[in-house]
Amino acid sequence: MNIMWLLRMARWARNPPSRAYRRMLLVVLGFVLVIGGIEYFLGWPEALTLEPQRRFWRP
């Protein structure tokens, strides 16, 4: 673990974040988990897949 993460955790322990900030973090985390679960269980839609583009190499 990085020393910066330890310092951040110590700062959060001394001055915990507000209730609104914690709620916002939980909402964002929930949103990410829902999107990740949909992608994991249902797969990525073919319509949203980009076609590989041909690259022209110029020396």
- pLDDT for 37-59, tens place per residue? 988 898 877 777 777 766 666 66
In a domain, 15, yes or no: yes
Distance CA 53, CA 19 (A): 47
For residue 21, give its domain range. 3-48
| CB-based contacts of 11, cutoff 8 Å, min separation 6 | none
- pLDDT for 1-51, tens place per residue? 789 999 999 999 999 989 999 999 999 999 999 999 988 898 877 777 777
In a domain, 11, yes or no: yes
In a domain, 59, yes or no: no
In a domain, 31, yes or no: yes
pTM to 2 decimal places: 0.59
In a domain, 56, yes or no: no
Q: How many folded domains does the chain comprise? A: 1
In a domain, 24, yes or no: yes
In a domain, 54, yes or no: no
